[in-house]
Structure 1
Amino acid sequence: MQYEGVLKKMQTEIGTPIQYYLIFETDFLNVNQVLNKDLKIELIKHQCLNCGNDRPIFRQGFCKSCFFDIPSAGDWIMRPELSTAHLDQEDRDLAYEKKIQLQPHIVYLANSSNVKVGVTRKSQVPTRWIDQGAHEAIEIVEVPNRYLAGITEIALKEHVADKTNWRKMLTNDVKDLNLIEWRNRLKVYIPSEAKEYYIENNIETNLEFPVLKYPEKVKSLNLDKTPIYTGLLKGIKGQYLIFDDNTVFNIRGSEGYYVGLTVS
Protein backbone atom coordinates (compact mmCIF):
# COMPACT_ATOMS: atom_id res chain seq x y z
CA MET A 1 0.00 0.00 0.00
CA GLN A 2 1.32 3.42 -0.91
CA TYR A 3 0.23 6.85 0.24
CA GLU A 4 1.50 10.32 -0.58
CA GLY A 5 0.76 13.76 0.81
CA VAL A 6 1.60 16.53 3.23
CA LEU A 7 1.78 15.56 6.89
CA LYS A 8 -0.69 17.12 9.31
CA LYS A 9 -1.28 16.04 12.87
CA MET A 10 -3.05 12.73 13.07
CA GLN A 11 -6.78 12.85 13.60
CA THR A 12 -8.03 10.67 16.43
CA GLU A 13 -11.15 8.85 17.49
CA ILE A 14 -11.80 7.92 21.10
CA GLY A 15 -11.87 4.16 21.62
CA THR A 16 -10.18 1.26 23.40
CA PRO A 17 -7.59 1.80 22.13
CA ILE A 18 -7.63 5.23 20.48
CA GLN A 19 -7.85 5.13 16.67
CA TYR A 20 -5.40 7.23 14.64
CA TYR A 21 -5.79 8.52 11.08
CA LEU A 22 -3.41 10.22 8.65
CA ILE A 23 -5.52 12.36 6.32
CA PHE A 24 -4.18 13.21 2.87
CA GLU A 25 -5.73 15.23 0.06
CA THR A 26 -7.29 12.25 -1.72
CA ASP A 27 -6.79 9.38 0.73
CA PHE A 28 -6.46 8.45 4.39
CA LEU A 29 -4.72 5.78 6.45
CA ASN A 30 -5.96 4.20 9.68
CA VAL A 31 -2.53 4.00 11.29
CA ASN A 32 -3.65 1.35 13.82
CA GLN A 33 -3.89 -1.09 10.90
CA VAL A 34 -0.18 -0.63 10.21
CA LEU A 35 0.90 -1.96 13.63
CA ASN A 36 3.40 -4.84 13.30
CA LYS A 37 4.01 -3.91 9.67
CA ASP A 38 6.98 -2.23 8.00
CA LEU A 39 6.41 1.44 7.25
CA LYS A 40 8.69 3.31 4.86
CA ILE A 41 8.68 7.11 5.15
CA GLU A 42 10.30 9.12 2.37
CA LEU A 43 10.62 12.92 2.32
CA ILE A 44 9.65 14.28 -1.10
CA LYS A 45 9.51 18.03 -0.45
CA HIS A 46 8.23 20.68 1.96
CA GLN A 47 4.76 22.19 1.59
CA CYS A 48 3.81 25.10 3.86
CA LEU A 49 0.35 24.47 5.32
CA ASN A 50 -0.63 28.07 4.55
CA CYS A 51 0.87 29.13 1.21
CA GLY A 52 1.52 25.63 -0.15
CA ASN A 53 4.98 26.57 -1.42
CA ASP A 54 8.01 24.28 -1.19
CA ARG A 55 9.88 26.28 1.42
CA PRO A 56 11.70 25.15 4.58
CA ILE A 57 9.22 24.61 7.42
CA PHE A 58 9.85 27.06 10.25
CA ARG A 59 7.27 26.19 12.94
CA GLN A 60 3.82 24.60 13.22
CA GLY A 61 3.89 23.45 9.60
CA PHE A 62 4.41 26.97 8.20
CA CYS A 63 7.26 28.59 6.30
CA LYS A 64 8.94 31.49 8.06
CA SER A 65 7.13 34.30 6.26
CA CYS A 66 3.71 32.75 6.85
CA PHE A 67 4.48 31.98 10.49
CA PHE A 68 5.09 35.65 11.27
CA ASP A 69 2.10 36.83 9.25
CA ILE A 70 -0.95 34.58 9.56
CA PRO A 71 -3.42 34.92 12.48
CA SER A 72 -3.37 31.21 13.31
CA ALA A 73 0.28 31.47 14.37
CA GLY A 74 -0.02 34.48 16.69
CA ASP A 75 1.82 34.44 20.02
CA TRP A 76 -1.48 33.92 21.87
CA ILE A 77 -1.71 30.41 20.42
CA MET A 78 1.18 29.23 22.60
CA ARG A 79 0.64 31.83 25.31
CA PRO A 80 -3.13 32.12 25.92
CA GLU A 81 -2.64 34.87 28.51
CA LEU A 82 -1.70 37.20 25.60
CA SER A 83 -5.22 36.91 24.13
CA THR A 84 -6.88 40.31 23.62
CA ALA A 85 -10.04 39.62 21.58
CA HIS A 86 -12.16 40.03 24.75
CA LEU A 87 -10.89 43.64 24.83
CA ASP A 88 -11.73 44.10 21.13
CA GLN A 89 -8.00 44.48 20.44
CA GLU A 90 -6.50 42.98 17.29
CA ASP A 91 -3.24 41.06 17.11
CA ARG A 92 -3.24 40.03 13.43
CA ASP A 93 -6.90 39.52 12.47
CA LEU A 94 -9.58 40.44 15.01
CA ALA A 95 -12.38 38.46 13.35
CA TYR A 96 -10.30 35.28 13.45
CA GLU A 97 -9.11 35.97 16.97
CA LYS A 98 -12.66 36.53 18.23
CA LYS A 99 -13.76 33.27 16.63
CA ILE A 100 -11.06 31.25 18.40
CA GLN A 101 -10.53 33.18 21.64
CA LEU A 102 -14.13 34.01 22.54
CA GLN A 103 -15.37 30.46 23.03
CA PRO A 104 -15.35 28.12 26.05
CA HIS A 105 -11.88 27.04 27.12
CA ILE A 106 -10.80 24.36 29.57
CA VAL A 107 -7.91 24.46 32.01
CA TYR A 108 -6.99 20.88 32.80
CA LEU A 109 -4.54 18.57 34.50
CA ALA A 110 -3.06 15.77 32.41
CA ASN A 111 -0.66 12.98 33.28
CA SER A 112 1.63 12.05 30.38
CA SER A 113 4.96 11.81 32.20
CA ASN A 114 4.03 13.84 35.27
CA VAL A 115 1.07 15.97 36.28
CA LYS A 116 0.94 19.12 34.16
CA VAL A 117 -1.51 21.98 33.67
CA GLY A 118 -2.68 23.00 30.22
CA VAL A 119 -5.26 24.96 28.23
CA THR A 120 -7.47 23.92 25.34
CA ARG A 121 -10.71 24.92 23.67
CA LYS A 122 -13.62 22.93 25.06
CA SER A 123 -14.24 21.58 21.56
CA GLN A 124 -10.74 20.01 21.66
CA VAL A 125 -11.44 17.76 24.67
CA PRO A 126 -10.29 14.95 24.71
CA THR A 127 -8.29 15.47 21.48
CA ARG A 128 -5.76 17.70 23.23
CA TRP A 129 -5.10 15.08 25.89
CA ILE A 130 -4.67 12.36 23.29
CA ASP A 131 -2.20 14.54 21.35
CA GLN A 132 -0.11 14.94 24.51
CA GLY A 133 -0.02 11.21 25.21
CA ALA A 134 -1.85 11.60 28.52
CA HIS A 135 -3.18 8.37 29.97
CA GLU A 136 -5.35 10.30 32.45
CA ALA A 137 -6.69 13.86 32.60
CA ILE A 138 -9.24 16.00 34.44
CA GLU A 139 -10.80 19.42 33.85
CA ILE A 140 -10.30 22.14 36.48
CA VAL A 141 -12.15 25.17 35.14
CA GLU A 142 -14.31 25.99 32.13
CA VAL A 143 -14.07 29.68 31.25
CA PRO A 144 -15.76 31.72 28.47
CA ASN A 145 -12.58 32.95 26.76
CA ARG A 146 -8.95 32.11 26.12
CA TYR A 147 -7.57 34.97 28.20
CA LEU A 148 -9.14 33.71 31.44
CA ALA A 149 -7.81 30.23 30.72
CA GLY A 150 -4.36 31.69 30.11
CA ILE A 151 -4.12 33.62 33.37
CA THR A 152 -5.40 30.57 35.25
CA GLU A 153 -2.69 28.41 33.70
CA ILE A 154 -0.05 31.02 34.59
CA ALA A 155 -1.22 31.00 38.23
CA LEU A 156 -1.35 27.21 38.51
CA LYS A 157 2.01 26.52 36.88
CA GLU A 158 3.64 28.13 39.89
CA HIS A 159 2.56 24.95 41.71
CA VAL A 160 2.53 22.23 39.03
CA ALA A 161 4.47 21.54 35.80
CA ASP A 162 3.31 22.93 32.45
CA LYS A 163 5.50 20.74 30.22
CA THR A 164 5.46 17.06 29.28
CA ASN A 165 8.67 15.02 29.39
CA TRP A 166 8.13 13.44 25.98
CA ARG A 167 10.87 10.85 26.48
CA LYS A 168 9.25 9.54 29.68
CA MET A 169 5.85 9.61 27.98
CA LEU A 170 7.12 7.50 25.07
CA THR A 171 8.95 4.95 27.24
CA ASN A 172 5.81 4.71 29.41
CA ASP A 173 7.79 5.74 32.49
CA VAL A 174 4.60 7.00 34.12
CA LYS A 175 2.62 6.47 37.31
CA ASP A 176 -1.09 6.67 37.92
CA LEU A 177 -1.85 9.66 40.13
CA ASN A 178 -4.99 10.92 41.83
CA LEU A 179 -5.89 13.91 39.67
CA ILE A 180 -8.98 14.68 41.77
CA GLU A 181 -6.69 15.26 44.77
CA TRP A 182 -4.44 17.44 42.58
CA ARG A 183 -7.43 19.43 41.32
CA ASN A 184 -8.71 20.02 44.86
CA ARG A 185 -5.24 21.03 46.08
CA LEU A 186 -4.81 23.57 43.28
CA LYS A 187 -8.24 25.19 43.69
CA VAL A 188 -6.93 27.79 46.12
CA TYR A 189 -4.49 29.14 43.49
CA ILE A 190 -7.12 29.84 40.80
CA PRO A 191 -7.25 33.62 40.09
CA SER A 192 -10.25 35.47 41.48
CA GLU A 193 -11.55 36.22 37.95
CA ALA A 194 -11.83 32.48 37.23
CA LYS A 195 -12.91 31.05 40.60
CA GLU A 196 -16.60 30.97 39.66
CA TYR A 197 -15.77 28.63 36.78
CA TYR A 198 -14.17 25.92 38.96
CA ILE A 199 -15.47 22.42 38.18
CA GLU A 200 -16.22 20.67 41.46
CA ASN A 201 -17.45 17.12 40.93
CA ASN A 202 -16.03 15.67 37.72
CA ILE A 203 -13.98 12.49 37.38
CA GLU A 204 -10.78 11.56 35.56
CA THR A 205 -10.78 10.58 31.91
CA ASN A 206 -8.60 7.54 31.17
CA LEU A 207 -7.09 6.94 27.73
CA GLU A 208 -5.61 3.80 26.20
CA PHE A 209 -3.05 4.05 23.39
CA PRO A 210 -2.35 1.44 20.68
CA VAL A 211 1.17 0.42 21.71
CA LEU A 212 2.44 -3.14 21.36
CA LYS A 213 5.94 -2.39 22.63
CA TYR A 214 7.41 0.70 24.27
CA PRO A 215 11.00 1.72 23.48
CA GLU A 216 13.64 1.38 26.18
CA LYS A 217 15.11 4.71 25.14
CA VAL A 218 14.11 6.86 22.25
CA LYS A 219 15.89 8.24 19.21
CA SER A 220 14.02 10.82 17.19
CA LEU A 221 13.62 10.64 13.42
CA ASN A 222 14.37 13.93 11.63
CA LEU A 223 13.44 13.76 7.94
CA ASP A 224 15.75 16.62 7.01
CA LYS A 225 18.68 14.52 8.25
CA THR A 226 17.27 11.10 7.35
CA PRO A 227 14.96 11.58 4.34
CA ILE A 228 14.25 7.84 3.93
CA TYR A 229 13.46 5.57 6.87
CA THR A 230 11.91 2.11 7.17
CA GLY A 231 10.89 0.52 10.45
CA LEU A 232 8.49 -1.95 12.06
CA LEU A 233 5.67 0.06 13.63
CA LYS A 234 5.05 -0.97 17.24
CA GLY A 235 2.89 1.79 18.62
CA ILE A 236 1.22 5.19 18.43
CA LYS A 237 1.11 7.53 21.39
CA GLY A 238 0.47 11.24 21.49
CA GLN A 239 1.36 12.33 17.96
CA TYR A 240 4.31 9.91 17.77
CA LEU A 241 4.89 6.75 15.79
CA ILE A 242 6.99 4.23 17.75
CA PHE A 243 9.17 1.73 15.88
CA ASP A 244 10.81 -1.56 16.90
CA ASP A 245 14.36 -0.11 16.77
CA ASN A 246 13.50 2.61 19.39
CA THR A 247 13.03 5.23 16.67
CA VAL A 248 10.13 7.64 17.27
CA PHE A 249 8.63 9.99 14.70
CA ASN A 250 6.74 13.10 15.74
CA ILE A 251 4.00 13.59 13.15
CA ARG A 252 2.90 16.95 14.55
CA GLY A 253 6.48 18.16 14.66
CA SER A 254 6.77 17.24 10.97
CA GLU A 255 3.66 19.06 9.70
CA GLY A 256 4.31 20.61 6.29
CA TYR A 257 6.58 17.75 5.18
CA TYR A 258 5.31 16.15 1.97
CA VAL A 259 6.07 12.44 2.19
CA GLY A 260 5.54 9.11 0.55
CA LEU A 261 4.47 6.22 2.80
CA THR A 262 4.79 2.56 1.87
CA VAL A 263 3.24 -0.18 4.03
CA SER A 264 4.55 -3.71 3.62
Structure 2
Amino acid sequence: MATVYSGALRKMRTKADTNNNVVYQLPIGEHTLDINPLIGQKVSLTFTGEIHCVHCARKTKKSFNQGYCYPCLISLAQCDSCIIKPEKCHYHEGTCREPEWGEEHCFSDHFVYLANTGTVKVGITRHVTDAVSSRWMDQGATQATVMLRVPDRLTSGVVETFCKSYIADKTNWRTMLKGAPESVDLNAVKQELLAKISDDLNAEKQEKGLQAVSEVEGPIFDIHYPVEEYPVKIKSINLDKTPAFEGVLKGVKGQYWLLDEDRVINIRKYAGYQVELAL
Protein backbone atom coordinates (compact mmCIF):
# COMPACT_ATOMS: atom_id res chain seq x y z
CA MET A 1 0.00 0.00 0.00
CA ALA A 2 1.45 3.36 -1.08
CA THR A 3 1.88 6.14 1.43
CA VAL A 4 0.39 9.43 0.19
CA TYR A 5 1.46 12.88 1.37
CA SER A 6 -0.62 15.89 0.36
CA GLY A 7 -0.28 19.64 0.68
CA ALA A 8 1.64 22.58 -0.73
CA LEU A 9 5.10 22.02 -2.16
CA ARG A 10 8.02 24.14 -0.99
CA LYS A 11 11.59 24.31 -2.21
CA MET A 12 13.74 21.48 -0.89
CA ARG A 13 15.79 22.16 2.20
CA THR A 14 19.47 21.37 1.93
CA LYS A 15 22.34 20.74 4.27
CA ALA A 16 25.78 19.27 3.81
CA ASP A 17 27.15 16.51 6.01
CA THR A 18 30.73 16.36 7.25
CA ASN A 19 31.91 15.09 3.85
CA ASN A 20 29.98 17.78 1.96
CA ASN A 21 27.39 15.31 0.71
CA VAL A 22 24.11 17.15 0.14
CA VAL A 23 21.15 15.95 2.19
CA TYR A 24 17.67 16.90 0.96
CA GLN A 25 14.33 17.32 2.69
CA LEU A 26 11.04 18.14 0.97
CA PRO A 27 8.40 20.19 2.80
CA ILE A 28 4.94 19.16 1.56
CA GLY A 29 1.97 20.42 3.52
CA GLU A 30 2.60 19.67 7.19
CA HIS A 31 5.16 16.98 6.38
CA THR A 32 8.91 17.11 5.85
CA LEU A 33 10.21 14.14 3.88
CA ASP A 34 13.79 12.87 3.69
CA ILE A 35 14.49 12.58 -0.03
CA ASN A 36 17.91 10.89 -0.20
CA PRO A 37 16.51 7.49 0.93
CA LEU A 38 13.96 7.63 -1.90
CA ILE A 39 16.58 7.52 -4.65
CA GLY A 40 16.15 4.31 -6.62
CA GLN A 41 12.49 4.06 -5.63
CA LYS A 42 9.30 4.77 -7.57
CA VAL A 43 7.54 8.04 -6.84
CA SER A 44 4.23 9.42 -8.10
CA LEU A 45 3.26 13.09 -7.96
CA THR A 46 -0.09 14.67 -8.89
CA PHE A 47 -0.89 18.39 -9.04
CA THR A 48 -4.45 18.91 -7.79
CA GLY A 49 -4.96 22.13 -9.74
CA GLU A 50 -4.76 24.58 -6.84
CA ILE A 51 -1.95 27.05 -6.16
CA HIS A 52 -1.62 29.05 -2.94
CA CYS A 53 0.80 31.93 -2.47
CA VAL A 54 3.80 30.94 -0.34
CA HIS A 55 3.60 34.28 1.50
CA CYS A 56 -0.07 35.06 2.11
CA ALA A 57 -1.65 31.66 1.24
CA ARG A 58 -4.08 33.38 -1.15
CA LYS A 59 -5.42 31.07 -3.87
CA THR A 60 -4.02 32.16 -7.21
CA LYS A 61 -4.45 31.00 -10.79
CA LYS A 62 -0.81 31.70 -11.60
CA SER A 63 2.38 31.61 -9.57
CA PHE A 64 5.04 34.32 -9.89
CA ASN A 65 8.67 34.28 -8.75
CA GLN A 66 8.45 30.62 -7.68
CA GLY A 67 5.37 30.75 -5.51
CA TYR A 68 3.94 34.24 -5.06
CA CYS A 69 0.55 35.63 -6.06
CA TYR A 70 0.45 38.82 -8.13
CA PRO A 71 -0.43 41.21 -5.23
CA CYS A 72 2.58 39.90 -3.28
CA LEU A 73 4.76 40.09 -6.39
CA ILE A 74 4.17 43.82 -6.73
CA SER A 75 4.20 44.70 -3.02
CA LEU A 76 6.87 42.63 -1.25
CA ALA A 77 10.48 43.76 -1.02
CA GLN A 78 11.60 40.16 -1.50
CA CYS A 79 9.93 40.18 -4.94
CA ASP A 80 11.35 43.52 -6.12
CA SER A 81 13.65 43.67 -9.14
CA CYS A 82 16.63 44.55 -6.91
CA ILE A 83 16.54 41.01 -5.50
CA ILE A 84 17.60 39.75 -8.93
CA LYS A 85 19.82 42.77 -9.60
CA PRO A 86 21.10 43.97 -6.19
CA GLU A 87 23.10 46.74 -7.81
CA LYS A 88 19.71 48.41 -8.33
CA CYS A 89 18.94 48.55 -4.59
CA HIS A 90 16.97 51.76 -3.97
CA TYR A 91 16.69 51.75 -0.17
CA HIS A 92 18.87 54.88 0.02
CA GLU A 93 16.33 56.66 -2.19
CA GLY A 94 13.59 56.05 0.37
CA THR A 95 11.60 53.87 -2.01
CA CYS A 96 12.13 50.40 -0.51
CA ARG A 97 8.81 48.52 -0.49
CA GLU A 98 9.41 47.27 3.05
CA PRO A 99 12.20 49.21 4.80
CA GLU A 100 12.25 46.92 7.84
CA TRP A 101 12.67 43.85 5.61
CA GLY A 102 15.47 45.62 3.74
CA GLU A 103 17.23 46.55 6.96
CA GLU A 104 17.11 42.93 8.14
CA HIS A 105 18.20 41.26 4.91
CA CYS A 106 20.25 43.79 2.95
CA PHE A 107 22.42 45.53 5.54
CA SER A 108 24.67 42.72 6.70
CA ASP A 109 27.81 41.16 5.30
CA HIS A 110 27.44 39.64 1.84
CA PHE A 111 29.93 37.44 0.05
CA VAL A 112 30.90 37.33 -3.60
CA TYR A 113 31.76 33.77 -4.60
CA LEU A 114 32.85 31.59 -7.49
CA ALA A 115 31.10 28.30 -8.19
CA ASN A 116 31.42 25.50 -10.72
CA THR A 117 27.92 24.59 -11.90
CA GLY A 118 29.08 23.08 -15.18
CA THR A 119 30.86 26.30 -16.02
CA VAL A 120 32.38 28.73 -13.54
CA LYS A 121 30.04 31.52 -12.41
CA VAL A 122 30.08 34.41 -9.99
CA GLY A 123 27.36 34.96 -7.40
CA ILE A 124 26.48 36.54 -4.08
CA THR A 125 25.15 35.14 -0.82
CA ARG A 126 24.66 36.16 2.80
CA HIS A 127 25.09 32.67 4.19
CA VAL A 128 28.77 31.79 4.09
CA THR A 129 31.06 31.24 7.05
CA ASP A 130 33.23 28.15 6.99
CA ALA A 131 30.64 25.74 5.59
CA VAL A 132 28.86 24.97 2.34
CA SER A 133 26.30 27.66 1.47
CA SER A 134 22.72 26.58 0.81
CA ARG A 135 22.83 28.81 -2.25
CA TRP A 136 25.59 26.70 -3.77
CA MET A 137 23.61 23.54 -3.16
CA ASP A 138 20.46 25.08 -4.65
CA GLN A 139 22.43 25.92 -7.78
CA GLY A 140 23.95 22.45 -8.09
CA ALA A 141 27.53 23.67 -7.67
CA THR A 142 30.13 20.91 -7.38
CA GLN A 143 32.88 23.35 -6.34
CA ALA A 144 32.69 26.76 -4.69
CA THR A 145 34.81 29.27 -2.86
CA VAL A 146 34.32 32.72 -1.37
CA MET A 147 36.19 35.54 -3.05
CA LEU A 148 35.19 38.84 -1.41
CA ARG A 149 33.31 40.15 1.61
CA VAL A 150 31.26 43.37 1.43
CA PRO A 151 29.09 45.13 4.06
CA ASP A 152 25.72 45.20 2.28
CA ARG A 153 23.67 43.87 -0.61
CA LEU A 154 24.03 46.95 -2.81
CA THR A 155 27.82 46.74 -2.71
CA SER A 156 27.68 43.01 -3.47
CA GLY A 157 25.66 43.77 -6.58
CA VAL A 158 28.07 46.46 -7.69
CA VAL A 159 31.06 44.14 -7.26
CA GLU A 160 29.24 41.30 -9.01
CA THR A 161 28.64 43.66 -11.93
CA PHE A 162 32.40 44.26 -12.15
CA CYS A 163 32.89 40.50 -12.41
CA LYS A 164 30.17 39.96 -15.00
CA SER A 165 32.30 41.66 -17.62
CA TYR A 166 34.58 38.62 -17.47
CA ILE A 167 32.54 35.69 -16.14
CA ALA A 168 28.94 34.46 -16.20
CA ASP A 169 26.56 35.11 -13.31
CA LYS A 170 23.91 32.57 -14.32
CA THR A 171 23.69 28.79 -13.97
CA ASN A 172 22.86 26.89 -17.15
CA TRP A 173 20.55 24.33 -15.59
CA ARG A 174 20.77 21.95 -18.53
CA THR A 175 24.56 21.89 -18.34
CA MET A 176 24.36 21.47 -14.56
CA LEU A 177 22.11 18.40 -14.90
CA LYS A 178 24.11 16.60 -17.58
CA GLY A 179 26.66 15.22 -15.15
CA ALA A 180 29.45 16.03 -12.76
CA PRO A 181 31.63 18.68 -14.43
CA GLU A 182 35.40 18.51 -14.60
CA SER A 183 37.19 20.02 -11.62
CA VAL A 184 38.40 23.60 -12.04
CA ASP A 185 41.25 25.40 -10.27
CA LEU A 186 39.02 28.00 -8.64
CA ASN A 187 41.96 29.65 -6.87
CA ALA A 188 43.57 30.37 -10.24
CA VAL A 189 40.27 31.71 -11.61
CA LYS A 190 39.85 33.83 -8.49
CA GLN A 191 43.29 35.46 -8.74
CA GLU A 192 42.87 36.10 -12.45
CA LEU A 193 39.47 37.70 -11.93
CA LEU A 194 40.66 39.83 -8.98
CA ALA A 195 43.46 41.16 -11.15
CA LYS A 196 41.00 42.12 -13.89
CA ILE A 197 38.67 44.00 -11.56
CA SER A 198 41.33 45.52 -9.28
CA ASP A 199 40.88 49.06 -10.64
CA ASP A 200 37.12 48.87 -10.11
CA LEU A 201 37.58 47.52 -6.56
CA ASN A 202 40.03 50.27 -5.70
CA ALA A 203 37.59 52.89 -6.96
CA GLU A 204 34.85 51.34 -4.81
CA LYS A 205 37.11 51.47 -1.75
CA GLN A 206 37.99 55.10 -2.40
CA GLU A 207 34.29 55.97 -2.57
CA LYS A 208 33.01 53.87 0.35
CA GLY A 209 36.09 53.25 2.50
CA LEU A 210 38.77 50.58 2.69
CA GLN A 211 36.44 48.17 4.49
CA ALA A 212 33.89 48.29 1.66
CA VAL A 213 35.55 45.33 -0.05
CA SER A 214 37.91 42.78 1.47
CA GLU A 215 39.39 39.64 -0.03
CA VAL A 216 38.54 36.36 1.69
CA GLU A 217 41.06 33.54 1.94
CA GLY A 218 38.65 30.64 2.14
CA PRO A 219 38.81 26.96 1.20
CA ILE A 220 37.50 25.43 -1.99
CA PHE A 221 34.52 23.23 -1.20
CA ASP A 222 33.89 20.06 -3.21
CA ILE A 223 30.16 19.32 -3.05
CA HIS A 224 28.59 15.93 -3.76
CA TYR A 225 25.02 15.19 -4.81
CA PRO A 226 22.95 12.02 -4.39
CA VAL A 227 22.73 11.01 -8.05
CA GLU A 228 22.71 7.42 -9.35
CA GLU A 229 22.23 8.34 -12.99
CA TYR A 230 22.26 11.60 -14.95
CA PRO A 231 19.91 12.23 -17.90
CA VAL A 232 21.31 11.94 -21.40
CA LYS A 233 18.67 13.99 -23.23
CA ILE A 234 16.86 16.16 -20.72
CA LYS A 235 13.05 16.23 -20.78
CA SER A 236 11.63 18.83 -18.39
CA ILE A 237 8.33 18.10 -16.64
CA ASN A 238 5.89 21.02 -16.49
CA LEU A 239 3.12 20.47 -13.92
CA ASP A 240 0.88 23.02 -15.63
CA LYS A 241 0.92 20.90 -18.80
CA THR A 242 1.52 17.46 -17.27
CA PRO A 243 -0.15 17.53 -13.85
CA ALA A 244 0.77 13.95 -12.94
CA PHE A 245 3.84 11.78 -13.37
CA GLU A 246 5.44 8.70 -11.91
CA GLY A 247 8.82 7.11 -12.25
CA VAL A 248 11.99 6.06 -10.51
CA LEU A 249 13.89 8.82 -8.75
CA LYS A 250 17.46 8.59 -10.06
CA GLY A 251 18.93 11.49 -8.14
CA VAL A 252 18.65 15.04 -6.86
CA LYS A 253 20.84 17.98 -7.82
CA GLY A 254 20.24 21.65 -7.20
CA GLN A 255 16.49 21.90 -6.77
CA TYR A 256 15.84 19.26 -9.43
CA TRP A 257 14.60 15.70 -9.23
CA LEU A 258 16.21 13.44 -11.83
CA LEU A 259 13.86 10.67 -12.96
CA ASP A 260 14.08 7.71 -15.29
CA GLU A 261 13.53 8.25 -19.02
CA ASP A 262 15.72 11.38 -18.85
CA ARG A 263 12.97 13.40 -17.14
CA VAL A 264 13.67 16.21 -14.68
CA ILE A 265 11.51 18.55 -12.62
CA ASN A 266 12.44 21.77 -10.84
CA ILE A 267 10.74 21.38 -7.47
CA ARG A 268 11.37 24.99 -6.43
CA LYS A 269 9.49 26.27 -9.48
CA TYR A 270 6.28 24.74 -8.14
CA ALA A 271 6.34 26.13 -4.61
CA GLY A 272 2.76 26.70 -3.50
CA TYR A 273 1.32 24.02 -5.79
CA GLN A 274 -1.05 21.64 -4.01
CA VAL A 275 0.06 18.11 -4.75
CA GLU A 276 -0.28 14.50 -3.72
CA LEU A 277 2.95 12.53 -3.51
CA ALA A 278 2.67 8.74 -3.38
CA LEU A 279 5.60 6.61 -2.28
Structure 2-normalised TM-score? 0.89
Hey, what's the Cα distance between the residues in 2 that align with 1:198 and 1:217? 43
Could you tell me which residue of structure 2 aligns to residue 261 of structure 1? Answer: 277
Matched, 1:182 2:184: no
Give the 5 Å matches for 1:127-138. Answer: 127-138=134-145
**1:209 Cα deviation from its structure 2 partner:** 0.2
Hey, what's the Cα distance between the residues in 2 that align with 1:50 and 1:126? 24
Could you tell me which residue of structure 2 aligns to residue 243 of structure 1? Answer: 259
Query: Quick one: which amino acid aligns to residue 7 of structure 1?
Result: L
* 3-state SS of paired residue (1:60): coil
Matched, 1:252 2:268: yes
Gaps of 5+ in 2: none
* 3-state SS of paired residue (2:121): strand
Q: In the TM superposition, what whole-angstrom CA distance separates every residue of 1:158-192 from its partner, at most 9, and x where no partner exists?
A: 00111111111101162211000011111130523
Matched, 1:19 2:26: no
Could you tell me which residue of structure 2 aligns to residue 57 of structure 1? Answer: 63
| From 90, 94, 106, the counterpart of 2:99 | 94
| From 46, 62, 79, the counterpart of 1:73 | 79
**1:225 Cα deviation from its structure 2 partner:** 0.3
Hey, what's the Cα distance between the residues in 2 that align with 1:8 and 1:19? 16
Could you tell me which residue of structure 1 aligns to residue 150 of structure 2? Answer: 143
* 3-state SS of paired residue (2:265): strand
Q: In the TM superposition, what whole-angstrom CA distance separates every residue of 1:179-220 from its partner, at most 9, and x where no partner exists?
A: 000111111305232575333532211100000001112111
**1:42 Cα deviation from its structure 2 partner:** 0.5
Alpha-carbon contact 2:4-2:278 (below 8 Å) kept: yes
| From 13, 28, 37, the counterpart of 2:32 | 28
Could you tell me which residue of structure 2 aligns to residue 108 of structure 1? Answer: 113
Hey, what's the Cα distance between the residues in 1 that align with 2:64 and 2:39? 31
* 3-state SS of paired residue (2:215): coil
Compute the RMSD of aligned alpha carbons: 1.7
| From 165, 174, 199, the counterpart of 2:172 | 165
Query: Quick one: which amino acid aligns to residue 137 of structure 1?
Result: A
Hey, what's the Cα distance between the residues in 1 that align with 2:7 and 2:128? 27
Percent identical: 34
Hey, what's the Cα distance between the residues in 1 that align with 2:185 and 2:161? 22
Matched, 1:205 2:230: no
| From 113, 118, 122, the counterpart of 1:117 | 122
Alpha-carbon contact 2:127-2:134 (below 8 Å) kept: no
| From 3, 19, 24, the counterpart of 2:5 | 3
Hey, what's the Cα distance between the residues in 2 that align with 1:234 and 1:122? 29
Q: In the TM superposition, what whole-angstrom CA distance separates every residue of 1:214-260 from its partner, at most 9, and x where no partner exists?
A: 11121111001000100100000000000011110101111121111
**1:89 Cα deviation from its structure 2 partner:** 2.6
Question: Structure 1 pair 30/148, CA: closer, same or farther in 2 (3 Å)?
Answer: same
Alpha-carbon contact 1:90-1:97 (below 8 Å) kept: no
Alpha-carbon contact 2:42-2:246 (below 8 Å) kept: yes
**1:20 Cα deviation from its structure 2 partner:** 0.2
Could you tell me which residue of structure 1 aligns to residue 234 of structure 2? Answer: 218
Query: Quick one: which amino acid aligns to residue 134 of structure 2?
Result: T
* 3-state SS of paired residue (1:172): coil
Hey, what's the Cα distance between the residues in 2 that align with 1:122 and 1:175? 26
Hey, what's the Cα distance between the residues in 2 that align with 1:104 and 1:204? 20
